[in-house]
Amino acid sequence: MGSISKDLVLILQFLLPGFVTAWIFYNLTSYPKSSQFERVVQALIFTLFIQGLVAIIEYILVTLGQYWSLGQWNESSSLIVSILIAVLFGITFSYFANNDKIHKLLRAINITRETSFPSEWFSSLSNNQTFVVLHFDDGKRLYGWLIEWPSEPKQGHFLIEDPSWVHENEKEEKIPGVKSILVDTKDIKWVEFLEDTWENKNE
């Protein structure tokens, strides 16, 4: 029984860095959490790369230790280095998942046509930092500056700053005393991204 517990602890210690990386990634990006099995597989993949880097770092430090004493490499050293790499991995993967830089390069050389964003919905809203018109299911239209938006189209809220109603004659009606407004995405039929402000369009 003691042997099984010890083996279990060793397995968890080995897999821990991969789970740390996956946890950081899902908390810093808008990717929906996958199934438990898929998350375990992702953690295993992260662990593979992390443990590979740990082995390389261990080899380098042990080699340097033949010339300069840097301390003793042991299980604690391995665990600390693996956790540090896991945190760095999580932040790095989150950074590139949130800005599309790697996928942009890959699209330029025709390797893929995908983006790093979790959906077309999120990609469109991330790449269009501009004034929008929200079209409600009942035909109403709300104009304003998009501050925040939901990660998924079927749940969450839009945060619109300096909101105005847009009437059928295309005239804008300011909402007095309102700095910003939260709009439930369930009430929205589509989102219109504007090239210019509404004021410029009416000049």
**pLDDT band at 89, cuts 50/70/90?**
very high
Higher pLDDT, 75 or 94: 94
Is the pLDDT at 201 greater than 50? The verdict is no
Do 47 and 14 touch, CB atoms closer than 8 A?
A: yes
Listed range (39-43, 68-72, 138-142) with the worst mean pLDDT: 68-72
Task: State the chain's mean pLDDT as an integer.
Answer: 84
- Give the pLDDT confidence score for residue 159 in this predicted structure: 92
Highest mean pLDDT among 2-6, 20-24, 124-128: 20-24
| CA gap 162, 154 in Å, rounded | 24
As to burial, measured by CB atoms within 10 angstroms (0-12 exposed, 13-18 middle, 19+ buried), residue 82 is buried
- What secondary structure letter does DSSP report for 185? G
Return the pLDDT at 4: 58
d(CA 177, CA 192): 24
Residue 202 confidence class, pLDDT cut points 50, 70, 90: very low
Whether the CB-CB separation of 42 and 22 falls below 8 Å is answered with yes
Nearest to 93 by CA among 23, 148, 143, 44: 23
Which CATH fold would you assign to the domain 120-201? SH3 type barrels. (2.30.30)
pLDDT of residue 198: 46
Asked if pLDDT for residue 143 goes beyond 50, the answer is yes
pTM of the model: 0.70
Spell out the domain ranges in the chain: 2-108, 120-201
Mean pLDDT of 59-66: 82
- Per the structure block, which two tokens stand in for 67? 């010339």
Question: Is the pLDDT reported for residue 53 higher than 90?
Answer: yes
Q: Minimal CA–CA distance to 158: which of 119, 191, 120?
A: 191
- pLDDT at residue 38 tops 60: yes
Higher pLDDT, 36 or 158: 158
